[in-house]
Amino acid sequence: MRITGDHTALTVEGRLDVRSAADARALLHAAVDGGEGDLVLDLGRLEFWDATGLGVIMGTHRRAGRAGRRLVLRDVPVQLQRLLVATRLHRILAVEGAVQDPCGTTLPALG
């Protein structure tokens, strides 16, 4: 897993899973704490996330909210969009662009 960027926009690459969660959490929380306005996470290069990785995203979302910021997910891969829909998190998280449900129906995204 690799995260690059600054306090307003970050790119997450590779796998966000139990093995990378602690490092990702520290980097994402530092980005939230060090900036203002929206924090955009570009997930276009994210290959995989498991429940732990999704928990890191949700924890970052909550931390951003407490800091008066908004976490925005950009370029979410289709298979990860499906997970957001299956868990109904697409209704909570701000997601740029359309989100597909498992049947292929386009659902409105937040943001």
pLDDT digits (tens, 9 = 90+) for 7-49: 899 999 999 999 999 999 999 999 999 999 999 999 999 999 9
Counting Cα atoms < 13 Å in the Cβ hemisphere of 16 gives 26
Beta strands in 1-111 (DSSP E): 2-5, 9-16, 39-49, 71-74, 94-95, 99-100, 106-107
With 60 as the cut, is the pLDDT of residue 66 above it?
Answer: yes
Q: Which residue did the predictor score with more confidence, 102 or 72?
A: 72
Instruction: Using alpha carbons only, give the angle 50, 44, 26 rounded to the nearest 5 degrees.
Output: 55
| Domains located in the chain, CATH noted | 2-77 (3.30.750.24)
Token pair for 107: 């659902």
Output the pTM of the full model: 0.85
